Amino acid sequence: MSLISILKKKGPNGLGFSNTAEDVTERLDLIGKTVLITGVNSGLGLETARVLSLRGAIVIGLARTLNKAESISPLLKNSYFPMACELSEPQSVLDCVEILKNSKVLLDAIICNAGIMALPRLQQKYGVELQFLTNHIGHFMLVNGLIDSLNQYGRITVVSSAAHKMFSYRDGIQFQNFSGGQNYDPHRAYGHSKLANLLFCNELSRRFKSTTFISNAVHPGVIRTNLLRHYNPVIRYGVRIVDKIFLKTVEQGAATQCYVSVHPDIEGMSGNYFSDCNLEQPSVHAQDKVMSKRLWDVSEKIVSKIRKEKMWQDG
Ligand SMILES: NC(=O)c1ccc[n+]([C@@H]2O[C@H](COP(=O)([O-])OP(=O)(O)OC[C@H]3O[C@@H](n4cnc5c(N)ncnc54)[C@H](OP(=O)(O)O)[C@@H]3O)[C@@H](O)[C@H]2O)c1
């Protein structure tokens, strides 16, 4: 079997690499459903918003700034509510949560899609490595703040990545190195944040046990988007060359998160990891219950420390 046919094979449900978000939501009627998407102004978030709106969902689109969130409204077919949410800024996340809670909106799905990848040099905010802060802590705060705003069968979809396996540290979450200062490596730091996404999703799923909510994680595939902005031009050119043969299009890349967030096939399924719209085995660390519980506790401590520090700074 050629590499291309392996990449393009279908999974047990008949869906696979080549299906688009429009394919996997075909004939779904999402009228009356409300979906919140982070990172809505670009790449997979934008395509997810476009397609779910096309199927009738009300979309609440979050981006770093209100302008960015508003920029996509001409592409959406249905009611659209743009909001600012800078995930690396806890106050921005809290403000967003407060507005949504006050609005009494009921969310059928929260899609934690926003992310940054492979910052070439270590960047920290509040003493925390920026990819971990943005990709994990920001979403951890957002989702926890919105649990009471979930509809009865509310779904959380966390956009993780196969990078959680490929680029991860041998011993999983670096509990002594959230600052990223020890031997910073751009890809490992990304893989670390994506492992945190998966562990968060799994722990959330366990905490949802006595509810009708579900929480799942996805790997969207490899897609040429703005996520590559921190790569040097030579690598970006190389990606452009292989793009058409080996990579997914943005339309294909958004498929798994759309499928997992709204498709009836997923009803009652929780704590799973999907790729190409089918179940996929995550890494051993991603299944480690002790690690996920510990990460949850430490994430709460990081959030509370940042909030105290911020209050102190703001006087
Ligand atoms: N593309 C791939 O091959 C691939 C593979 C595996 C996983 N993923 C995951 O898929 C998700 C979507 O990525 P993409 O490929 O669509 O990349 P993208 O086009 O760069 O989109 C990322 C989105 O996240 C937003 N974002 C970044 N930092 C943020 C912050 N601090 N606060 C709020 N929003 C922020 C970006 O906003 P700005 O435009 O303002 O920066 C943008 O809207 C990410 O979680 C990524 O890790 C992608």
Q: 118 CB less than 6 Å from ligand 1?
A: no
- CA of 226 from ligand 1 middle (Å) equals 7
- Bridge-partner residues for 82, per DSSP? 61
pLDDT in tens, the chain (315 residues): 566 666 668 999 999 999 999 999 999 999 999 999 999 999 999 999 999 999 999 999 999 999 999 999 999 988 999 999 999 999 999 999 999 999 999 999 999 999 999 999 999 999 999 999 999 999 999 999 999 999 999 999 999 999 999 988 889 999 999 999 999 999 999 999 999 999 999 999 999 999 999 999 999 999 989 888 777 766 766 666 666 667 999 999 999 999 999 999 999 999 999 999 999 999 999 999 999 999 999 999 999 999 887 766 766
Q: How far is CA 98 from CA 9, 92, 107, 142, 282, in A?
A: 44, 10, 14, 10, 34
Instruction: Report which protein residue has its CA nearest ligand 1's atom 7.
Output: 161
The rounded distance, in Å, linking the Cα atoms of 117 and 35 is 25
Domain ranges of the chain: 3-306
- CA of 282 from ligand 1 middle (Å) equals 21
From 92, 126, 225, give the residue whose CB has the most ligand 1 atoms within 8 Å, as the site to mutate. 225
Q: 115 CB less than 6 Å from ligand 1?
A: yes
- Predicted pLDDT at 228: 80
- Predicted pLDDT at 307: 86
Token couple for 143 = 């989702």
In one-letter notation, the amino acid at residue 303 is V
- Predicted pLDDT at 205: 98
Instruction: Report which protein residue has its CA nearest ligand 1's atom 37.
Output: 39
- CA of 235 from ligand 1 middle (Å) equals 18
The label of the residue with tokens 């688009």 reads: 20
From 226, 228, 231, 280, give the residue whose CB has the most ligand 1 atoms within 8 Å, as the site to mutate. 226
Q: How far is CA 70 from CA 46, 59, 229, in A?
A: 11, 12, 22
- CA of 315 from ligand 1 middle (Å) equals 33
- Predicted pLDDT at 122: 97
Topology adopted by domain 3-306? Rossmann fold (3.40.50)
- CA of 114 from ligand 1 middle (Å) equals 4
Ligand 1 atom nearest to 45, measured from its CA: 16
How far, rounded to the nearest angstrom, does the alpha carbon of residue 64 sit from its chain's CA centroid?
15
- Predicted pLDDT at 229: 79
Instruction: Report which protein residue has its CA nearest ligand 1's atom 40.
Output: 64
| Active-site position among 80, 126, 153, 184 | 184
pTM: 0.96
Concerning whether 184 is annotated as a catalytic residue, the answer is yes
To the nearest 10 degrees (0 to 180), the angle between helices 186-207 and 289-313 is 110
Q: 113 CB less than 6 Å from ligand 1?
A: yes
- CA of 201 from ligand 1 middle (Å) equals 18
